[in-house]
Amino acid sequence: MTFTVCYGIERQQKESISAPTIGAIKTDTVLKAILGFGDNVRALIHGVEQPDHITVPEGSEVVLETRANQKAN
């Protein structure tokens, strides 16, 4: 299966034998090094935030965005 991961203007096409989960993409150290994202990101597919347990559909574009910081009350 093939999918694309984007962070900012950077894009990385990935191939995998089986569909990874969103959580696996967010913790992939190779993708972190290539694309330059940290631990505080959220993943979107078609503009909708995806939970970590969802598997990535074939041909999808997973967009990673830095999660907004929240102020403590």
Domain segments of the chain as ranges: 2-66
CB atoms within 10 A of CB 15: 7
Structure tokens at 5: 């991961």
Which CATH code for domain 2-66?
3.10.20.90
* 73 residues of the chain, pLDDT tens digit each: 999 999 999 999 999 999 999 999 999 999 999 999 999 999 999 999 999 999 999 999 999 999 887 666 6
CA torsion through residues 43, 51, 48, 42, sign: negative
Interacting residues of 23 by C-beta distance below 8 A, sequence separation 6+: 52, 53
Q: Which two tokens stand for residue 22?
A: 């969103």
Nearest CA among 50, 44, 37, 43 for reference residue 10:
37
